[in-house]
Amino acid sequence: MTFLKPTRRLFLGGALSTAGARLLMPTRARAQTAVALQLSWLHSVQFGGSYIAQDKAYWADAGLEVSLLPGGPNAPVEPPVVAGTALVGISAADYTAAAVNQGAPFKIIGVAMQKNPFAIASLPENPVNSPADLVGKKIGMALANTPVLEALCSINDVDIEQIEVVPTQYDAAPLVQGQVDCLLCWATDLPVAMESQGIESVTMLLADHGYAVHSQTYIATEDSLANRRDQLVALMKGEVMGWQDYHADPEAAAALTVEMFPDAGLDLATQTLQAARQVPLMFSALTEAEGFGWFTDETVAANVETLALLGKPVSPELWDRSILEEVHG
């Protein structure tokens, strides 16, 4: 049985809502400033809110002409942001921490995924419902993601030596064929691929067991924060409005994604399912109270702790909430 390959960086390492009315931007004609948003991977509904922002002219109404640059194995996020060819990049706290530790002048200015999407996928007849259930199991994963498993085990006092790691390609087949008992993956891709083919799975989010690493984060340089602030605020306003529309109608976001990228090989049913699976990761009581993309000192502190376990120590100063504070008023 063949499964759809995910559009995910992980492959390498293995209707505007009422609450958003205050974000409405003037619709008068304005001179357009060209900027770019560097995505973290190939086009898919993972970035559905950005597509809505472009399609509904939220950015154009704010005076921005935004190019959405796809990522991929040969298009890392960080270099174009450092070079200034992309105003903002979509990254993750662990990638950004590694870059900052090498001298990159980044700040995290927003957090799209309130819960990290890393998950352990298993089958109902042999489920992994908690980290303790990993003991005695064979887990299929990319060896590059070993620090993730180590961190999960450390946080939950599980002896990693009692887990057999089996190097696998990023595919559900080893699990379905019984070669492994579970897989380390994103909750929004391999479980979606299995469900699309009628195979039920059990998904345990690492974020529900102490693994706190912000994902699908917005990064910008310190120079842009100092000198291109108006552009950052305008871009993030449009982004917030797009994602609020996404939250109101994920199915419409999936349909728009497939329509906008007809040559990307996207399946509407799969994109629709993925769009729904993303909602609880990206929207929470916190975003309902404070707005899309928000983060707190407490969530930052949890990230700092987990990143230290991953060998990527950073200080809370990596996160800068000032752009979001302007966006949400």
Report the pLDDT value the prediction gives residue 1, as an integer from 0 to 100.
45
Per-residue pLDDT of 11-60, as tens digits, reads 433 333 333 333 444 444 557 999 999 999 999 999 999 999 999 999 99
pTM over 0.85: yes
CA–CA distance, 55 with 57 (Å, rounded to integer): 6
Q: Look-up: residue for tokens 């990206």?
A: 282
> How far is CA 58 from each of CA 36, 45, 241, 242, rounded to the nearest angstrom?
15, 18, 7, 8
Q: Which CATH number fits domain 118-209: 3.40.190.10, 3.30.43.10, 3.40.50.450, 3.40.50.300?
A: 3.40.190.10
Ranking 70-79, 190-199, 221-230, 309-318 by mean pLDDT, the lowest is 70-79
Q: Could you tell me the two tokens for 130? A: 């908690």
Residue intervals in the chain for CATH 3.40.190.10: 9-116+213-328, 118-209
Report the pLDDT value the prediction gives residue 30, as an integer from 0 to 100.
59
Q: What average pLDDT does the chain have?
A: 92
CA–CA distance, 5 with 12 (Å, rounded to integer): 12
- Helix axis angle for 146-155 and 297-309, nearest 10°, is 110
CA–CA distance, 271 with 294 (Å, rounded to integer): 25
| 66 pLDDT above the threshold of 90 | yes
- The H or E element spanning position 96 is helix 93-101
* H helix and E strand count, the chain: 13, 10
Ranking 14-23, 140-149, 204-213, 252-261 by mean pLDDT, the lowest is 14-23
Burial of 176 (C-beta count, 10 Å sphere; 0-12/13-18/19+): middle
Per-residue pLDDT of 105-146, as tens digits, reads 999 999 999 999 999 999 999 999 999 999 999 999 999 999
**Between residues 274 and 5, which one has the greater pLDDT?**
274
Task: Please state the length of the chain.
Answer: 329
- Fold exhibited by the domain 9-116+213-328: D-Maltodextrin-Binding Protein; domain 2 (3.40.190)
Instruction: For residue 6, give the nearest of 251, 193, 195 by alpha carbon.
Output: 193
DSSP-assigned beta bridge partners for residue 182: 122, 139
Q: Could you tell me the two tokens for 152? A: 């999960």
Instruction: For residue 125, give the nearest of 212, 200, 18, 64 by alpha carbon.
Output: 200
